[in-house]
Structure formats: structure tokens, C-alpha cells
Amino acid sequence: PRAAMMIQGEEDRIFPISGARRAGAGVERIYQLAGHPGRARFVSLPGLPHAYSRPFRESMYGWMRLQLQGRGRGEP
């Protein structure tokens, strides 16, 4: 499977964090069973609402740098 990253603000009022954590854990488990445990990641950002703010983008940039260029650890 291709790389997948899920980013969720912990103060999101549209999608509750509890459901997002369950979904993220499920996706990570499926990737693990498929033999690709490092290709799925769930990230929750404390104190942030449903948005695409700088912390979300920086998390995504680090992940893409790792997945597309093989550089870094997939973190901002």
C-alpha cells in the first residue's frame, strides 16, 4: 500500500478525536498486517481545531519528505 498520513486536531469539533484515533489505529494495523508498518501514520495535534494551519502543514511536509525523498524521520 502507498503511504498514508492522517492528521487530526485534538480540539476538532467536526470529527471527534476519539473516533479519529480509532480510525488511525485501524489503518496503522492494516498496514502492519500488510508488511508496511512505517507507511501509515496517525498524528494528533494538541489544542488545534479542524483546520489546515501551519502545524498541520509542517507535519505533512516532514512526512512527504520522508516518503518521497527518503530524508528525515517524517516529522516537522
Q: Give a yes or no: residue 76 inside a domain.
A: no
In this structure, is residue 38 part of a structural domain?
yes
Tens of pLDDT along the chain (76 residues) come to 899 999 999 999 999 999 999 999 999 999 999 999 999 999 999 999 999 999 999 999 999 999 999 999 998 8
pTM value > 0.75: yes
Flag whether 75 is in a domain: no
Whether 8 maps to a domain, the answer reads: yes
Structurally, the chain folds into a number of domains equal to 1
Burial track 21-38 (b if 16+ CB lie within 10 A, e otherwise): eeebeebbeebeeeeeee
Domain range for residue 31?
4-69
pLDDT score at 76:
84
Task: Look at residue 64 and tell me if it is in a domain.
Answer: yes
